[in-house]
Amino acid sequence: MEDHIRFDARERTLFLLDQRLLPEQEHYVACRSVEDVIRAMQGMVVRGAPAIGVTAAWGCVLALDAVDGPDWQELLGQKLSLLAKARPTAVNLRWAVERMQRCLQRTLDSAGLEREAVLPAWEAEAWRIQREDVEICQAIGRHGGELLQDGDTVLTHCNAGALATAGYGTALGVVRGAVAAGKRIAVIADETRPLFQGARLTAWELQRDGIPVTVACDNACALLMGKGLVQCVVTGADRIAANGDTANKIGTCAVAILARHFGIPFYVAAPLSTIDTDMVDGSAIPLEQRPEQEVTHVGTARICPVGVPAYNFAFDVTPAAYIQGIVTEVGVLRPPYTESIRRAFDRG
């Protein structure tokens, strides 16, 4: 699945498959401005770190469409700084906006201060970011697929699949890579409270691909591991610090600790663009807090008494010590991550 983020150049519109409505409805939201794109990200129409990055690149294109006059660069800068802050944890968002800004600077340097000269170059860069993301996920799949054995059941948390990227997925890319290599792999998808990305999205896309998938509630994890039903855990990431500490969907850290207890390998799969080398360790990773209503309600139905507050941290940080390997497009990075991450960037 690669058409869930689709830019129509003639209509100057970005169409996003509305992930809030899956699996019941396949409906596209039309974004005609960068403000629409920001609303779509914050409202979870589109989510998943690499998918947010790709969407942000198209948000930049729509922002440029909307600015004109002598102050166009200043106006554009203001729109891009709001876009870069739409969601705080997934570093791919900032990465994509910065890459588009570097492209802008290159084009301006070569073409003079012409807004019209920038537009085609910007559109081409957004296409490149989208295309490259699929290729990167496929490379993650090839490297990570080798870690799985024929007959393995992989537990995953949240959705790090095609829907969370431009296509193919990171954690689910690893599963797809192993399946493509002829291995029989089954998946357990944690339902992933409070927004159920595992039950709604991971199960939906694996079922479409014919990969066996079973959904379990988040608090079944220890029981399933204890019963020997899980051979490997693979999750995605929203931001990885230079020492390997990894922010991912709330609940990931508990899964990693349980995996260690039961002697099950725990891998993170992510592109190098998810690694924030400016962040020494995970303690400074900003963790998004979302509306309480996502916890106090399921859909529109209230599930706890009026007036009781709720925590709704969207992400947590898994210490690097619990991570067996980080599967990237350049190979599987192993501890000590400060070394292996530095080498991966030197190579890249």
326 in contact with ligand MRU (CB under 6 A): no
**Would you give the distance in Å from CA 116 to the centre of its chain?**
32
Strand, coil or helix: 212? coil
What is the per-residue binding string for ligand MRU in 282-321, x denoting contact by CB under 6 A?
--------------------------------x-------
Task: Tell me the HSE value of 53 on the side-chain side, using a 13 A CA sphere.
Answer: 31
**Whether residue 3 lies in the annotated active site:** no
236 in contact with ligand MRU (CB under 6 A): yes
Q: Which of 165, 296, 324, 328 binds ligand MRU (CB under 6 A)?
A: 165
Separation of alpha carbons 56 and 155, rounded Å: 30
Separation of alpha carbons 289 and 262, rounded Å: 31
Q: Which of 31, 97, 126, 160 binds ligand MRU (CB under 6 A)?
A: 160
- Residue carrying the six token digits 């993170």: 268
CA distances 216 to 143, 211, 225, 247, 327, Å, are: 27, 16, 12, 22, 25
Count of other CB atoms within 10 angstroms of residue 67: 17
55 in contact with ligand MRU (CB under 6 A): no
Q: Give the max Cα distance, the chain.
A: 67
- Contact assessment for residue 55 and residue 41, using Cβ atoms and an 8 Å cutoff: yes
Number of chain residues interacting with ligand MRU (CB under 6 A): 18
- Contact assessment for residue 206 and residue 161, using Cβ atoms and an 8 Å cutoff: yes
Q: Which of 191, 238, 245, 316 binds ligand MRU (CB under 6 A)?
A: 238
Q: Which of 139, 237, 240, 242 binds ligand MRU (CB under 6 A)?
A: 237
Q: Which of 130, 249, 272, 327 binds ligand MRU (CB under 6 A)?
A: 249
**Nearest distance in Å: CB 184, ligand MRU:** 24
Residues forming beta bridges with residue 289, ordered by sequence position? 313
Separation of alpha carbons 107 and 2, rounded Å: 29
> 76 or 232: whose CB is closer to ligand MRU?
232
Give kind and range of the element (H or E) at residue 345.
Answer: helix 337-347
The closest residue (CB) to ligand MRU is: 236
**Nearest distance in Å: CB 285, ligand MRU:** 12
Q: Which of 55, 130, 153, 197 binds ligand MRU (CB under 6 A)?
A: 197
> 165 or 328: whose CB is closer to ligand MRU?
165
Active site residues: 238
By CB under 6 A, name the binding residues for ligand MRU.
Answer: 47-50, 90, 158, 160, 164-165, 170, 197, 235-238, 248-249, 314
